[in-house]
Structure formats: C-alpha cells, structure tokens
Homo-oligomer: A and B are copies of this chain.
Amino acid sequence: MIGREIRLFCPATIANVSCGFDVLGLCLDAVGDQMIVKTTAQKGVRISKITGQDLPLDPKQNVAGVAVLALLDEIEAPCGFEIKIHKNIKPGSGIGSSAASSSAAVFGVNHLLGNPFQPIDLVRFAMEGEALASGTPHADNVAPAIYGGFTLVRSTTPLDIVSIPTPAELVATVIHPQIELKTKDARAVLKQQIPLSNAITQWGNVGGLISSLFLGDYELLSRSLVDVVVEPHRALLIPGFDTFKHAALEAGALGSGISGSGPSIFALSKGLATAQKVAKSLELRAKELHLNCEIHISKINTQGIRILS
C-alpha cells in the first residue's frame, strides 16, 4: 500500500455562530485548502510541502503534523505518511485555518489506514493541533470540518459531539478584513466572570438556534443569532465590525456576527440571492472604509472534508 495517495478538500468553518461560543460551528463549502496525503515506507509523518502560506514543515510545529502524531500514537501503522498542503485559508482569519489542516490530515491518514477510527476520534486527534495553534484544545472548528453541517460540541471532557440538521436554503457570506487576529489575543479580551442575566440570554439563544435548525425555522434562527457575551468585547478588535454587521442585516441577512475569534465576520441568509446582495453591500462598505477585504459566499457544506481524488 506504499505510494497510495488521496487529495482532499479541507473546508473552512465558522465557530461560535454568534450565541454558541465554544460549542457551535458550521462547515463552509466554497472556501478551503487542498491537501495530499500519501503512504510512505518511512514510518511517522513528514510534511514535504506547503504552498500558499509560510508555515513550519516540522510536524511537531505544524497543526497537521501534531494531529497525525496523536493518531499514530494510538495505532500500529504499517506505513508512514507524507503530507502536502496548499493553503487558501489564511492563518488568523477566523474561519478555521488550523482546523482545516489538522482535521483533514487525520481524516486522510485514517482513510488510507482503512478507517480504523470513528469521526469522534478524529476530532480528538485534530484538537491536539488546535491546542498547538491557540493554546486550548477546542473542537468547535474541527467538529464541523469532520462531521459537516452544523455541530454542537456539548462537552470536550468527555468529548461529546452532536450533528445538527442544516436548513436547505441557508447560505453564508464571509468578509475577511485583511488583518491577522490571533485566537490567543481574541481570548484574552474576554471577561472570566459574566453576569448571570447575560448567560441566561445566551443559553436561551443557543436553545433557539438549535431548535430553528431542527425545525427549519428561518425566523427563529434570525431571532436567535445574537451574542451578548463575547461579541461586545471582541467587536472592538475588528475594524469596521459594526458597519459590516449593520450592512449585512440591512441587505437582508438573517443574522451576522464574528466568525470564530475574528477578524472575519459572517452573515447567514436564506437563499443565494440574498447572500449575494449581502456580499455586494459588504464590498461597498469595505471600499468606503478603505479596508482591504476578501469576501466569500458559500453554501453550508453538510459533508465536511471531501476526497477529491
């Protein structure tokens, strides 16, 4: 089996989804990296090439390498693995750049080994990569990358992941102001104590959002996409946040918020036409603000990581 290789699409993801800080995430379809994973005679894992971004090739310093090492720690693999990555997702963009690499790497290795591990195990391994990237082993990006669609990370210890249905007409628009915001720094602005009243508002909205996804109720979804805990603090780190959010809602988005730890801002809309209208409106505001931004429009990817060949 030496020399077998697969090429993967490694999707970007939106963590938190407004109210669901550290627990909710969704998988994108139109934004992602590509990765080639190949079996080699030499045991262990080697990252031979990274294009698109300047990232370390040393497996112990690379999220994909760390994740695969965690996997190989739990199985006697008959071969080693070589990984080539083409990054389209910029690190520090807030749409799960590290999660795309760490989750696709373990997905690819698991596939080439004949799938000895379950999706929940892959999340566990990929979380080791997340720990390298941000200091904490969170699962809210790797879970949707591996499961697809919307995921709830009910708990990380023990790990408990729930797949939530995706309403068919939901489309995401993402604007990425071209600054880098490290997850570590975005976490540092959060208060470690929060008012009980805000916490109640937040878990009411988490309940509403999850119900809306099961019910396919876009209006309830819209009312639930509210974050009273994290957004008020993190928004200050993101140039133009209020302007972009306001523009997205005015253009018809169901809701808008910070993607992961930012600086990307997401909006969810019912239907492609509205998502495109939102994108145009965001583009216009970015020009007015003289902010260099990338804008993506994407369906929700209910499959997660895809094997391209």
Contact = CB atoms under 8 A, between A and B. Distances in A.
A98 interface: no
A71 interface: no
A152 B211 contact: yes
A104 to B, nearest CB: 25
A206 interface: yes
Given A196-B194, A211-B152, A203 B162 contact: no
Contact of A207 (B154, B192, B197, B229): B154
B193 A196 contact: yes
A209 to B, nearest CB: 8
A196 B190 contact: yes
How large, as a class, is the contact surface on chain A? 35 or more
A211 B208 contact: no
Interface string A168-197: 000000000000000000000011111111
Contacts of A24: 207
Contacts of A208: 152, 154-155, 160, 162
Given A194-B196, A196-B191, A207 B204 contact: no
Interface of A: 19-24, 152-155, 160, 162, 164, 190-197, 199-208, 210-211, 214-215, 220, 223-224, 229
13 contacts: A22-B204, A23-B204, A23-B207, A152-B207, A154-B208, A155-B201, A155-B204, A160-B223, A192-B197, A193-B193, A193-B195, A199-B229, A211-B214
